[in-house]
Chains A and B, each alone.
Chain A
Protein backbone atom coordinates (compact mmCIF):
# COMPACT_ATOMS: atom_id res chain seq x y z
CA UNK A 1 0.00 0.00 0.00
CA UNK A 2 2.82 2.41 0.80
CA UNK A 3 4.21 1.58 -2.64
CA UNK A 4 1.05 2.97 -4.20
CA UNK A 5 1.35 6.14 -2.13
CA UNK A 6 4.95 6.63 -3.23
CA UNK A 7 3.98 5.92 -6.81
CA UNK A 8 1.19 8.48 -6.51
CA UNK A 9 3.75 11.19 -5.85
CA UNK A 10 6.11 10.01 -8.57
CA UNK A 11 6.52 12.43 -11.49
CA UNK A 12 5.06 9.89 -13.94
CA UNK A 13 1.73 9.50 -12.21
CA UNK A 14 1.59 13.04 -10.82
CA UNK A 15 1.85 14.56 -14.30
CA UNK A 16 -0.73 12.12 -15.65
CA UNK A 17 -3.21 13.10 -12.94
CA UNK A 18 -2.27 16.76 -13.37
CA UNK A 19 -3.16 16.51 -17.05
CA UNK A 20 -6.54 14.95 -16.25
CA UNK A 21 -7.27 17.65 -13.66
CA UNK A 22 -6.43 20.68 -15.82
CA UNK A 23 -8.36 19.20 -18.75
CA UNK A 24 -11.36 18.69 -16.46
CA UNK A 25 -11.07 22.31 -15.35
CA UNK A 26 -11.26 23.36 -19.00
CA UNK A 27 -7.69 24.46 -19.58
CA UNK A 28 -6.86 26.28 -22.78
CA UNK A 29 -3.40 24.70 -22.78
CA UNK A 30 -2.85 23.00 -26.11
CA UNK A 31 0.16 20.85 -26.83
CA UNK A 32 0.27 20.18 -30.52
CA UNK A 33 0.34 16.75 -32.03
CA UNK A 34 3.77 17.25 -33.54
CA UNK A 35 5.27 17.77 -30.07
CA UNK A 36 3.55 14.65 -28.83
CA UNK A 37 4.93 12.63 -31.73
CA UNK A 38 8.40 14.10 -31.27
CA UNK A 39 8.42 13.16 -27.59
CA UNK A 40 7.36 9.60 -28.34
CA UNK A 41 10.11 9.44 -30.95
CA UNK A 42 12.73 10.74 -28.47
CA UNK A 43 11.68 8.31 -25.73
CA UNK A 44 11.54 5.25 -27.94
CA UNK A 45 14.79 6.15 -29.67
CA UNK A 46 16.46 6.41 -26.27
CA UNK A 47 15.01 3.05 -25.16
CA UNK A 48 16.12 1.51 -28.46
CA UNK A 49 19.64 3.01 -28.30
CA UNK A 50 20.17 1.71 -24.80
CA UNK A 51 18.89 -1.73 -25.79
CA UNK A 52 20.98 -1.79 -28.96
CA UNK A 53 24.19 -0.77 -27.18
CA UNK A 54 23.84 -3.42 -24.53
CA UNK A 55 22.70 -6.31 -26.70
CA UNK A 56 25.99 -6.22 -28.57
CA UNK A 57 27.24 -8.60 -25.89
CA UNK A 58 23.98 -10.31 -24.99
CA UNK A 59 23.05 -13.85 -25.86
CA UNK A 60 20.01 -13.35 -28.04
CA UNK A 61 19.02 -17.01 -27.85
CA UNK A 62 17.63 -16.08 -24.43
CA UNK A 63 15.15 -13.83 -26.17
CA UNK A 64 13.44 -16.66 -28.07
CA UNK A 65 11.16 -17.91 -25.28
CA UNK A 66 10.01 -14.44 -24.08
CA UNK A 67 9.43 -13.40 -27.71
CA UNK A 68 7.28 -16.50 -28.30
CA UNK A 69 5.38 -15.74 -25.10
CA UNK A 70 4.85 -12.15 -26.31
CA UNK A 71 3.34 -13.41 -29.58
CA UNK A 72 1.08 -15.86 -27.71
CA UNK A 73 -0.08 -13.22 -25.23
CA UNK A 74 -0.79 -10.71 -28.01
CA UNK A 75 -2.96 -13.24 -29.85
CA UNK A 76 -4.47 -14.55 -26.61
CA UNK A 77 -5.65 -11.08 -25.52
CA UNK A 78 -7.62 -10.68 -28.74
CA UNK A 79 -9.13 -14.18 -28.39
CA UNK A 80 -10.16 -13.36 -24.82
CA UNK A 81 -11.91 -10.18 -26.00
CA UNK A 82 -13.68 -12.21 -28.70
CA UNK A 83 -15.33 -14.48 -26.12
CA UNK A 84 -15.88 -11.81 -23.44
CA UNK A 85 -16.38 -8.19 -24.54
CA UNK A 86 -17.51 -9.00 -28.09
CA UNK A 87 -20.20 -11.38 -26.77
CA UNK A 88 -21.82 -8.89 -24.40
CA UNK A 89 -25.25 -7.46 -25.15
CA UNK A 90 -25.17 -3.92 -26.56
CA UNK A 91 -21.63 -4.46 -27.81
CA UNK A 92 -21.28 -4.82 -31.56
CA UNK A 93 -19.02 -7.78 -32.22
CA UNK A 94 -16.69 -5.86 -34.55
CA UNK A 95 -16.29 -3.07 -31.96
CA UNK A 96 -15.41 -5.65 -29.30
CA UNK A 97 -12.83 -7.34 -31.50
CA UNK A 98 -11.24 -4.02 -32.48
CA UNK A 99 -11.04 -3.00 -28.82
CA UNK A 100 -9.37 -6.33 -28.00
CA UNK A 101 -6.89 -5.69 -30.80
CA UNK A 102 -5.99 -2.29 -29.41
CA UNK A 103 -5.55 -3.68 -25.89
CA UNK A 104 -3.39 -6.51 -27.23
CA UNK A 105 -1.23 -3.97 -29.05
CA UNK A 106 1.45 -2.07 -27.14
CA UNK A 107 1.80 1.53 -25.96
CA UNK A 108 5.24 3.07 -26.34
CA UNK A 109 4.50 5.70 -23.68
CA UNK A 110 3.46 3.11 -21.09
CA UNK A 111 6.62 1.14 -21.85
CA UNK A 112 8.75 4.27 -21.39
CA UNK A 113 7.01 5.04 -18.10
CA UNK A 114 7.75 1.52 -16.83
CA UNK A 115 11.41 1.80 -17.81
CA UNK A 116 11.77 5.03 -15.83
CA UNK A 117 10.27 3.37 -12.75
CA UNK A 118 12.45 0.25 -13.12
CA UNK A 119 15.57 2.41 -13.46
CA UNK A 120 14.74 4.61 -10.50
CA UNK A 121 14.10 1.53 -8.36
CA UNK A 122 17.33 -0.04 -9.67
CA UNK A 123 15.55 -3.19 -10.85
CA UNK A 124 17.62 -4.95 -13.52
CA UNK A 125 16.03 -6.18 -16.70
CA UNK A 126 17.39 -7.71 -19.90
CA UNK A 127 18.22 -4.80 -22.18
CA UNK A 128 16.51 -6.54 -25.08
CA UNK A 129 13.22 -6.73 -23.16
CA UNK A 130 11.79 -3.50 -24.73
CA UNK A 131 12.35 -5.17 -28.12
CA UNK A 132 9.55 -7.60 -27.20
CA UNK A 133 7.19 -4.73 -28.18
CA UNK A 134 6.70 -5.67 -31.87
CA UNK A 135 6.36 -9.38 -31.03
CA UNK A 136 3.17 -8.62 -29.12
CA UNK A 137 1.92 -5.55 -30.98
CA UNK A 138 1.80 -6.86 -34.54
CA UNK A 139 0.26 -10.32 -33.88
CA UNK A 140 -2.51 -8.67 -31.81
CA UNK A 141 -3.46 -6.22 -34.58
CA UNK A 142 -3.29 -8.93 -37.26
CA UNK A 143 -5.39 -11.27 -35.12
CA UNK A 144 -8.07 -8.62 -34.52
CA UNK A 145 -8.39 -7.83 -38.21
CA UNK A 146 -8.49 -11.54 -39.14
CA UNK A 147 -11.12 -12.31 -36.47
CA UNK A 148 -13.29 -9.38 -37.56
CA UNK A 149 -13.18 -10.57 -41.15
CA UNK A 150 -14.01 -14.13 -40.12
CA UNK A 151 -16.98 -12.75 -38.22
CA UNK A 152 -18.22 -10.77 -41.24
CA UNK A 153 -17.72 -13.85 -43.39
CA UNK A 154 -19.78 -15.99 -41.03
CA UNK A 155 -22.53 -13.39 -40.81
CA UNK A 156 -22.81 -12.32 -44.41
CA UNK A 157 -20.98 -15.01 -46.32
CA UNK A 158 -18.87 -12.36 -47.98
CA UNK A 159 -15.57 -11.05 -46.82
CA UNK A 160 -12.48 -9.62 -48.35
CA UNK A 161 -9.44 -11.80 -48.03
CA UNK A 162 -7.20 -10.41 -45.31
CA UNK A 163 -3.75 -9.53 -46.58
CA UNK A 164 -1.46 -9.86 -43.59
CA UNK A 165 1.75 -8.37 -44.96
CA UNK A 166 0.33 -4.82 -45.39
CA UNK A 167 -0.78 -4.87 -41.73
CA UNK A 168 2.71 -5.89 -40.59
CA UNK A 169 4.29 -3.27 -42.83
CA UNK A 170 2.01 -0.53 -41.55
CA UNK A 171 2.72 -1.48 -37.93
CA UNK A 172 6.48 -1.41 -38.49
CA UNK A 173 6.14 1.98 -40.19
CA UNK A 174 4.29 3.42 -37.17
CA UNK A 175 6.13 6.26 -35.45
CA UNK A 176 6.79 4.51 -32.12
CA UNK A 177 8.01 1.24 -33.58
CA UNK A 178 10.16 2.95 -36.25
CA UNK A 179 11.94 4.95 -33.54
CA UNK A 180 12.45 1.90 -31.32
CA UNK A 181 13.85 -0.25 -34.14
CA UNK A 182 16.02 2.61 -35.45
CA UNK A 183 17.44 3.11 -31.95
CA UNK A 184 18.23 -0.60 -31.61
CA UNK A 185 19.95 -0.66 -35.00
CA UNK A 186 21.99 2.48 -34.26
CA UNK A 187 22.96 1.19 -30.82
CA UNK A 188 23.92 -2.18 -32.19
CA UNK A 189 25.79 -1.15 -35.32
CA UNK A 190 27.25 2.26 -34.50
CA UNK A 191 28.84 3.97 -31.48
CA UNK A 192 26.18 6.46 -30.33
CA UNK A 193 27.42 6.57 -26.70
CA UNK A 194 28.40 10.27 -26.73
CA UNK A 195 25.08 11.55 -28.08
CA UNK A 196 23.19 9.06 -25.93
CA UNK A 197 24.86 10.25 -22.73
CA UNK A 198 24.76 13.96 -23.48
CA UNK A 199 21.37 14.27 -25.15
CA UNK A 200 18.91 11.35 -25.19
CA UNK A 201 19.44 10.00 -21.71
CA UNK A 202 19.31 13.32 -19.76
CA UNK A 203 16.12 14.38 -21.57
CA UNK A 204 14.34 11.05 -21.00
CA UNK A 205 12.60 11.75 -17.69
CA UNK A 206 11.71 15.35 -18.46
CA UNK A 207 10.13 14.47 -21.79
CA UNK A 208 8.27 11.59 -20.19
CA UNK A 209 6.68 14.00 -17.69
CA UNK A 210 5.42 16.19 -20.57
CA UNK A 211 4.13 13.08 -22.35
CA UNK A 212 2.25 12.00 -19.22
CA UNK A 213 0.64 15.46 -19.01
CA UNK A 214 -0.51 15.10 -22.62
CA UNK A 215 -1.82 11.58 -22.00
CA UNK A 216 -3.78 12.86 -19.00
CA UNK A 217 -5.38 15.69 -20.99
CA UNK A 218 -6.11 13.31 -23.84
CA UNK A 219 -7.65 10.76 -21.45
CA UNK A 220 -10.10 13.34 -20.16
CA UNK A 221 -11.08 14.66 -23.58
CA UNK A 222 -11.79 11.14 -24.85
CA UNK A 223 -14.19 10.35 -22.01
CA UNK A 224 -16.86 12.22 -23.97
CA UNK A 225 -16.45 9.74 -26.80
CA UNK A 226 -16.53 6.76 -24.47
CA UNK A 227 -19.85 7.97 -23.02
CA UNK A 228 -21.51 7.56 -26.40
CA UNK A 229 -20.78 3.83 -26.60
CA UNK A 230 -21.91 0.94 -24.38
CA UNK A 231 -20.76 1.10 -20.76
CA UNK A 232 -19.19 -2.33 -21.17
CA UNK A 233 -16.27 -0.70 -22.97
CA UNK A 234 -15.44 1.34 -19.86
CA UNK A 235 -15.68 -1.78 -17.69
CA UNK A 236 -13.48 -3.76 -20.06
CA UNK A 237 -10.96 -0.89 -20.25
CA UNK A 238 -10.67 -0.75 -16.46
CA UNK A 239 -10.32 -4.50 -15.89
CA UNK A 240 -8.56 -5.81 -19.00
CA UNK A 241 -5.17 -4.07 -18.60
CA UNK A 242 -4.67 -5.66 -15.18
CA UNK A 243 -5.94 -9.09 -16.24
CA UNK A 244 -3.66 -9.05 -19.30
CA UNK A 245 -0.71 -7.84 -17.24
CA UNK A 246 -1.21 -10.55 -14.63
CA UNK A 247 -1.53 -13.28 -17.27
CA UNK A 248 1.73 -12.07 -18.82
CA UNK A 249 3.33 -11.93 -15.38
CA UNK A 250 2.40 -15.59 -14.91
CA UNK A 251 3.94 -16.61 -18.24
CA UNK A 252 6.98 -14.45 -17.50
CA UNK A 253 7.39 -16.23 -14.19
CA UNK A 254 7.35 -19.52 -16.10
CA UNK A 255 10.15 -18.20 -18.34
CA UNK A 256 11.99 -17.12 -15.19
CA UNK A 257 11.85 -20.68 -13.86
CA UNK A 258 12.74 -22.27 -17.21
CA UNK A 259 15.39 -19.94 -18.62
CA UNK A 260 16.19 -17.43 -15.89
CA UNK A 261 14.25 -14.50 -17.42
CA UNK A 262 14.96 -11.65 -14.97
CA UNK A 263 12.29 -10.19 -12.62
CA UNK A 264 12.64 -6.80 -14.35
CA UNK A 265 12.10 -8.55 -17.69
CA UNK A 266 8.97 -10.22 -16.31
CA UNK A 267 7.69 -6.77 -15.23
CA UNK A 268 8.33 -5.37 -18.74
CA UNK A 269 6.48 -8.30 -20.32
CA UNK A 270 3.54 -7.67 -17.96
CA UNK A 271 3.59 -3.91 -18.70
CA UNK A 272 3.50 -4.30 -22.48
CA UNK A 273 0.71 -6.88 -22.16
CA UNK A 274 -1.26 -4.52 -19.92
CA UNK A 275 -0.74 -1.51 -22.17
CA UNK A 276 -2.99 -0.54 -25.06
CA UNK A 277 -1.77 1.14 -28.22
CA UNK A 278 -2.29 4.88 -28.55
CA UNK A 279 -0.48 6.00 -31.70
CA UNK A 280 0.03 3.29 -34.26
CA UNK A 281 -2.80 0.90 -33.42
CA UNK A 282 -5.87 3.08 -34.05
CA UNK A 283 -5.15 4.00 -37.70
CA UNK A 284 -4.23 0.38 -38.49
CA UNK A 285 -7.53 -0.83 -37.04
CA UNK A 286 -9.52 1.94 -38.72
CA UNK A 287 -8.17 0.78 -42.07
CA UNK A 288 -8.36 -2.95 -41.25
CA UNK A 289 -11.83 -3.03 -39.64
CA UNK A 290 -13.59 -0.02 -41.22
CA UNK A 291 -16.98 -1.00 -39.81
CA UNK A 292 -15.86 -0.86 -36.18
CA UNK A 293 -16.59 2.39 -34.37
CA UNK A 294 -13.34 4.20 -33.49
CA UNK A 295 -15.02 6.01 -30.58
CA UNK A 296 -15.40 2.63 -28.87
CA UNK A 297 -11.82 1.42 -29.09
CA UNK A 298 -9.96 4.73 -28.93
CA UNK A 299 -12.18 5.97 -26.10
CA UNK A 300 -11.71 2.75 -24.13
CA UNK A 301 -7.95 2.68 -24.63
CA UNK A 302 -6.98 6.32 -24.19
CA UNK A 303 -9.44 7.47 -21.56
CA UNK A 304 -9.42 4.44 -19.25
CA UNK A 305 -7.01 1.72 -20.40
CA UNK A 306 -3.78 3.74 -20.48
CA UNK A 307 -4.29 5.56 -17.15
CA UNK A 308 -5.09 2.21 -15.46
CA UNK A 309 -2.09 0.52 -17.08
CA UNK A 310 0.26 3.26 -15.87
CA UNK A 311 -1.23 4.19 -12.51
CA UNK A 312 -2.23 0.75 -11.24
CA UNK A 313 -0.48 -1.74 -13.52
CA UNK A 314 3.15 -0.68 -13.25
CA UNK A 315 3.30 -0.45 -9.41
CA UNK A 316 1.27 -3.66 -9.13
CA UNK A 317 3.68 -5.73 -11.24
CA UNK A 318 6.73 -4.27 -9.46
CA UNK A 319 5.21 -5.01 -6.04
CA UNK A 320 4.35 -8.50 -7.22
CA UNK A 321 7.88 -9.02 -8.54
CA UNK A 322 9.30 -7.98 -5.17
CA UNK A 323 6.95 -10.36 -3.39
CA UNK A 324 7.51 -13.33 -5.72
CA UNK A 325 11.19 -13.20 -6.66
Chain B
Protein backbone atom coordinates (compact mmCIF):
# COMPACT_ATOMS: atom_id res chain seq x y z
CA UNK B 1 0.00 0.00 0.00
CA UNK B 2 1.38 3.37 -0.89
CA UNK B 3 0.98 6.63 0.92
CA UNK B 4 0.60 10.05 -0.69
CA UNK B 5 3.19 12.58 0.48
CA UNK B 6 4.99 15.73 -0.66
CA UNK B 7 8.64 15.89 -1.57
CA UNK B 8 10.37 19.23 -1.11
CA UNK B 9 13.69 19.68 -2.90
CA UNK B 10 16.04 22.56 -2.09
CA UNK B 11 19.15 23.08 -4.22
CA UNK B 12 21.36 25.69 -2.60
CA UNK B 13 24.89 26.50 -1.49
CA UNK B 14 26.94 24.25 0.74
CA UNK B 15 27.63 27.09 3.20
CA UNK B 16 23.93 27.10 4.06
CA UNK B 17 23.76 23.40 4.97
CA UNK B 18 23.51 23.89 8.72
CA UNK B 19 21.12 26.82 8.49
CA UNK B 20 18.71 25.07 6.12
CA UNK B 21 18.85 21.87 8.17
CA UNK B 22 17.94 23.90 11.26
CA UNK B 23 14.92 25.40 9.48
CA UNK B 24 13.75 21.96 8.35
CA UNK B 25 14.10 20.57 11.86
CA UNK B 26 12.21 23.52 13.32
CA UNK B 27 9.20 22.61 11.17
CA UNK B 28 8.91 19.14 12.58
CA UNK B 29 10.03 17.21 9.54
CA UNK B 30 11.10 13.79 10.68
CA UNK B 31 14.23 13.81 8.52
CA UNK B 32 15.92 14.88 5.32
CA UNK B 33 18.40 13.59 2.75
CA UNK B 34 21.47 15.59 1.82
CA UNK B 35 23.30 15.15 -1.51
CA UNK B 36 26.36 17.00 -2.83
CA UNK B 37 25.28 18.74 -6.01
CA UNK B 38 26.96 20.31 -9.01
CA UNK B 39 25.74 21.99 -12.15
CA UNK B 40 25.19 25.30 -13.79
CA UNK B 41 22.88 28.16 -13.00
CA UNK B 42 22.53 31.91 -12.92
CA UNK B 43 25.06 32.37 -10.12
CA UNK B 44 27.92 30.42 -11.60
CA UNK B 45 29.02 27.01 -12.64
CA UNK B 46 29.57 24.89 -9.60
CA UNK B 47 31.39 21.64 -9.82
CA UNK B 48 31.13 18.89 -7.29
CA UNK B 49 34.80 18.35 -6.64
CA UNK B 50 36.57 18.75 -9.96
CA UNK B 51 38.55 20.43 -11.37
CA UNK B 52 38.90 23.02 -8.66
CA UNK B 53 40.11 21.67 -5.37
CA UNK B 54 38.90 24.35 -3.01
CA UNK B 55 35.28 23.41 -2.97
CA UNK B 56 34.01 26.01 -0.49
CA UNK B 57 31.20 27.00 -2.73
CA UNK B 58 29.83 23.67 -3.82
CA UNK B 59 26.12 23.11 -3.88
CA UNK B 60 23.88 20.75 -1.99
CA UNK B 61 20.51 19.22 -2.73
CA UNK B 62 18.28 18.59 0.25
CA UNK B 63 15.20 16.40 -0.02
CA UNK B 64 12.50 16.41 2.61
CA UNK B 65 9.39 14.25 2.46
CA UNK B 66 6.44 15.52 4.44
CA UNK B 67 3.04 13.98 5.01
CA UNK B 68 1.17 17.19 4.22
CA UNK B 69 1.98 19.77 1.52
CA UNK B 70 1.55 22.66 3.94
CA UNK B 71 4.60 21.97 6.05
CA UNK B 72 6.67 21.56 2.88
CA UNK B 73 5.50 24.98 1.73
CA UNK B 74 6.24 26.52 5.12
CA UNK B 75 9.81 25.24 5.00
CA UNK B 76 10.16 26.53 1.43
CA UNK B 77 8.87 29.96 2.45
CA UNK B 78 11.21 30.19 5.43
CA UNK B 79 14.26 29.21 3.38
CA UNK B 80 13.49 31.47 0.42
CA UNK B 81 12.65 34.45 2.60
CA UNK B 82 16.03 34.33 4.33
CA UNK B 83 18.39 33.19 1.60
CA UNK B 84 16.96 33.36 -1.92
CA UNK B 85 18.03 36.98 -2.53
CA UNK B 86 21.74 36.49 -1.86
CA UNK B 87 22.47 32.83 -2.48
CA UNK B 88 21.95 30.35 -5.28
CA UNK B 89 18.67 28.73 -4.32
CA UNK B 90 16.06 26.70 -6.21
CA UNK B 91 13.13 25.11 -4.42
CA UNK B 92 10.44 22.84 -5.84
CA UNK B 93 7.88 20.38 -4.58
CA UNK B 94 6.27 17.40 -6.14
CA UNK B 95 3.79 14.77 -5.00
CA UNK B 96 5.28 11.38 -4.33
CA UNK B 97 3.98 7.98 -3.42
CA UNK B 98 5.88 6.58 -0.50
CA UNK B 99 6.24 2.81 -0.79
CA UNK B 100 7.94 2.20 2.49
CA UNK B 101 8.65 4.33 5.50
CA UNK B 102 8.56 3.94 9.24
CA UNK B 103 6.78 7.21 9.57
CA UNK B 104 6.58 10.55 7.89
Contact = CB atoms under 8 A, between A and B. Distances in A.
Nearest to B47: A221
Contacts of A302: 54
A78 interface: no
A32 B44 contact: no
A279 B54 contact: yes
A36 B56 contact: no
Contact of A33 (B13, B53, B83, B87): B53
Given A225-B44, A287-B15, A290-B86, A36 B57 contact: no
Nearest to B51: A221
B101 interface: no
Interface in B17-71: 44, 49-57
Interface stretch (A47-55, A68-76, A263-271, A291-299): A291-299
Q: How large is the interface on B (under 10, 10 to 19, 20 to 34, 35 or more residues)?
A: 10 to 19
Contacts of A298: 54, 56-57
Q: How large is the interface on A (under 10, 10 to 19, 20 to 34, 35 or more residues)?
A: 20 to 34
A286 B87 CA distance: 9
A184 to B, nearest CB: 25
A282 B57 contact: yes
A149 to B, nearest CB: 13
A35 to B, nearest CB: 8
A214 interface: yes
B56 A282 contact: yes
A283 B53 contact: no
A36 B54 contact: yes
Nearest to B13: A286
B57 A286 contact: yes
Contacts of B44: 225, 295
A218 B56 contact: no
A32 B55 CA distance: 10
Contacts of B83: 290
Nearest to B54: A218
A222 interface: yes
B42 to A, nearest CB: 12
Contact of B54 (A23, A33, A291): A33
A137 interface: no
A23 B50 CA distance: 12
Contact of A31 (B15, B53, B57): B53
A294 B56 CA distance: 10
20 contacts: A23-B51, A33-B55, A36-B54, A217-B53, A218-B52, A218-B53, A221-B51, A221-B52, A282-B56, A283-B56, A286-B57, A287-B15, A290-B87, A291-B86, A294-B57, A295-B44, A298-B54, A298-B56, A298-B57, A302-B54
A225 B49 CA distance: 16
A275 B55 CA distance: 20
Nearest to B44: A295
Contacts of B53: 31-33, 36, 214, 217-218
A56 to B, nearest CB: 35
A63 to B, nearest CB: 31
A95 interface: no
A30 B50 contact: yes
Nearest to B52: A221
Contacts of B87: 290
B8 to A, nearest CB: 22
